[in-house]
Amino acid sequence: MDVSTAISQRCSVRAYKATDVEEDKLRKILEAGRLSPSASNRQDWKFIVVRNKETRKKLAKAAFGQSFIGEAPVVIVACGTEPKAMLACGQPAHTIDVSIAFAYMILQAYELGLGTCWIGAFSEEEAKKALNIPQQIRVVGMTPLGYPDQPPTQKSRKPLNQIVCYEKYE
């Protein structure tokens, strides 16, 4: 599969089969995160792979009861390890670095036939408690990972002419 196909066909998956995720596929997904770019090549991330059922349920609870998170055989939680680092443009480096890595991982998962759903609605405090994450580390996002148990959904996006302008902001 080429990158454009993955970009155009991937969709968020909110129903998963119980079928386990093979170790070699999981490793390839983690490798996609490892190889992604980061500001100053800081690689200020840690990805927590959760297979334990009880912990997955705790994460679903931390995500305000989005139960499909706990139903997937794997949940990956993406953390920023250097939250004080700022980019010269004023943006925090870790949210950008971790988000790029997570986007790479999500596309890699799609190529391997696996579904994901970026989860941003969660209580960071509860997620940290469930995973023993130290205070200074930030949780940027999480995703369930598993074989989809739903048909692909249709993409709904703004047309390019609403989101692109040329030469100056319009």
Ligand X SMILES: Cc1cc2nc3c(=O)[nH]c(=O)nc-3n(C[C@H](O)[C@H](O)[C@H](O)COP(=O)(O)O)c2cc1C
Per CB under 6 A, which region of 51-59, 90-98, 119-127, 161-169 contacts ligand X?
A: 119-127
What binding mask, one character per residue, do residues 10-49 give for ligand X by CB under 6 A, x or -? -xx-x-----------------------------------
Tokens for 155, please give them. Answer: 């993409």
Per CB under 6 A, which region of 19-27, 30-38, 71-79, 111-119 contacts ligand X?
A: 111-119
Tokens for 64, please give them. Answer: 């305000």
Asked if 120 touches ligand X (CB under 6 A), the answer is yes
Task: Single out the residue of 117, 127, 133, 145 in contact with ligand X (rule: CB under 6 A).
Answer: 117
Going by the DSSP 8-state scheme, the letter that residue 70 receives in this structure is H
Tell which positions 146-165 bind ligand X, by CB under 6 A: 153, 155
Using CB positions, name the residue nearest to ligand X.
120
Candidates 69, 35, 62, 59; CA nearest to 146 is 69
d(CA 73, CA 116): 11
Asked if 88 touches ligand X (CB under 6 A), the answer is no
Strand order in the sheet with 115-116: 45-50, 74-80, 138-146, 115-116
Q: Kindly state the number of chain residues that form the binding site for ligand X, as judged by CB under 6 A.
A: 11
CB of 120 to ligand X, least distance (A): 3
Asked if 143 touches ligand X (CB under 6 A), the answer is no
CB of 110 to ligand X, least distance (A): 10
3-state secondary structure of 2: coil
| Residues whose CB is less than 8 angstroms from the CB of residue 2 and which lie 6 or more positions away in sequence, other chains included | none
Per CB under 6 A, which region of 44-52, 114-122, 129-137, 162-170 contacts ligand X?
A: 114-122
d(CA 130, CA 79): 14
Task: Tell the residue number behind the tokens 């119980």, with chain if given.
Answer: 18
Tokens for 2, please give them. Answer: 């080429």
Q: Which residues bind ligand X (CB under 6 A)?
A: 11-12, 14, 66, 117-121, 153, 155
